[in-house]
Amino acid sequence: MNTFKAIVINKTESAYTADVKDISENDLSEGNVLVKVDYSTINYKDGLAITGKSPIVRKFPMVPGIDFAGTVVSSAHPSWKAGDKVVLNGWGVGESHTGGLSQYARVSGDWLIHLPRVFTTRQAMAIGTAGYTAMLCINALRKHGIKPTDGEVLVTGAAGGVGSIAIAALARLGFTVVASTGRMNESDYLKTLGASLVIDRSELSNPGKPLGKERWAAVVDSVGSHTLANACATTKSEGAVAACGLAQGMDFPSTVAPFILRGVTLYGINSVTTPLVRREEAWADLTECLPKEKLDAMTHEIGLRESISAAGEILAGNIRGRLVVDVNR
Ligand code: NDP
C-alpha cells in the first residue's frame, strides 16, 4: 500500500478544514495492529469533530472517525493476526489518535474486539458507537433490576442513532417504550422500531418542576439539559435513568429531589473507555436484541466524501437513525 484515502481535519489560526486526502501509513498514529477498514460511521461526536463545533479533536492534522470495522492486515499484538475481523469503538480514536474515516487505521490491539460472528462489518458499523452505547445504557438499567413489568421506559432523542437502537433493543427485550422526538412526522418509523407511544419532545425540553407525576420505570437519555432533568423528575420511585448524551445541552438543571425523595438512580454512560468485558457483553447482547430488519430500516449508507456534509446534518438533527460510511467509495 502506498497511499490511501482518508478524511483529514486541519486547523490553522484562520481556518478549520476537513477534506478527503491521500495519506500514507506514516500519517497514522502509532499502534501495533494495522486494520484495512471496511466501514465507519457518522456519530454525533464525529459531527462535532469534523465541523469543529466542539473541541473534540486534540491534535492536528487528525483523521476523524470514532469507530470502524474491518480486517487485520498485520499485527504485533498477541491477540490478533492477519485476517481477523475486528471492531473498534472509542479509546480517543478520531480525537487524539487517527481514526476510522480512512481506508486504513493503526491502533493498539488492546482496543479491538472481535466482530461478532452474526454481523457483517457493515452491520457492525450500522450499529456503531451509537448502538453500542444504547446497549450500555440498557444494560445499566437491567443491572439495576428494571424489568418489562415495571412499566414504561422513556427513550429521548428517539429518531437519532442512540435513540433508534435503544428503542429496537428495548422492544425486543419486552419493554414498553415511549419515544420522545422533535420529529413527530417520524412516528411511523419509531413505531416500526418498537415504540408503543410517541410523544413530542417539547413535553420534556422546557424548564420543569423538581418533581412531577411518577411515570417512567426507566429512561435512556441522549439529550441532556432540561430533558434529562424532567426525565429524572418524572421517574418512578427506585427507577433508573441512563444518561449518555448532550444533544440538547451539556447542562443539567435539576435538583436532588428525584434522588433523595424517590431513590431514583442516575447512571452515567461513557462508551469511550468502557472496560473490555463490558464492551464484549454489550456487543454480544446486540447480537440477540437487535432484529436485522430493524437495523436495516434505520441505516443509510454514504461514501467517504459525503461524511463531510453529513457532519453538519447530524448536528442539525436532520439524520434519522444511523449513517454508515463505506470508506472505500
Ligand atoms: P444523533 O444526532 O443521531 O441523535 C441525537 C438526537 O437528539 C436527534 O436525532 C434528535 O432526536 C435529538 N435532538 C437533537 N437536538 C436536540 C435538541 N436541541 N433538543 C432535544 N433533542 C434534540 O446523535 P447520536 O445518537 O449519535 O448521539 C446522541 C448523543 O449521545 C450525542 O450527544 C452524543 O454525543 C452522545 N453519545 C455519547 C456517548 C457516550 O459514550 N457517552 C456515545 C455515543 C453518543 P429527535 O429528532 O428524535 O428529537
Classify each residue of 36-45 as buried b or exposed e, where b means 16 or more C-beta atoms within 10 Å of its C-beta: bbbbbbbbbb
Tell me, using a 6 A CB cutoff, whether residue 199 lines ligand 1: no
pTM: 0.97
Tell me, using a 6 A CB cutoff, whether residue 269 lines ligand 1: yes
Give the position of cell 448524551: 245
Angle 311-315-316 from CA coordinates, rounded to 5°: 115
Round to whole Å and give the CA distance between 42 and 315: 10
pLDDT, residue 213, reads 98
Element of type H or E holding 78: none
Of all protein residues, the one whose alpha carbon is nearest to atom 46 of ligand 1 is 182
CA 162 to ligand 1 center in whole angstroms? 7
Residue spans of beta strands (DSSP E) within the chain:
4-11, 16-23, 33-42, 67-75, 85-89, 104-107, 113-114, 152-155, 176-181, 195-200, 216-221, 235-243, 265-268, 299-303, 322-326
Tell me, using a 6 A CB cutoff, whether residue 159 lines ligand 1: yes
CA 130 to ligand 1 center in whole angstroms? 9
Of ligand 1's listed atoms, the one at least distance from the Cα of 271 is 40
Round to whole Å and give the CA distance between 304 and 326: 6
Of all protein residues, the one whose alpha carbon is nearest to atom 15 of ligand 1 is 247
Of all protein residues, the one whose alpha carbon is nearest to atom 27 of ligand 1 is 44
Tell me, using a 6 A CB cutoff, whether residue 44 lines ligand 1: yes
Mutate which of 54, 220, 223 to test ligand 1's pocket (most atoms within 8 Å of Cβ)? Answer: 223
**How would you write the pLDDT of the chain (329 residues) with one tens digit per residue?**
799 999 999 999 999 999 999 999 999 999 999 999 999 999 999 999 999 999 999 999 999 999 999 999 999 999 999 999 999 999 999 999 999 999 999 999 999 999 999 999 999 999 999 999 999 999 999 999 999 999 999 999 999 999 999 999 999 999 999 999 999 999 999 999 999 999 999 999 999 999 999 999 999 999 999 999 999 999 999 999 999 999 999 999 999 999 999 999 999 999 999 999 999 999 999 999 999 999 999 999 999 999 999 999 999 999 999 999 999 99
Of ligand 1's listed atoms, the one at least distance from the Cα of 43 is 26
Tell me, using a 6 A CB cutoff, whether residue 87 lines ligand 1: no
CA 205 to ligand 1 center in whole angstroms? 13
Contact 135, 269 (CB under 8 A): no
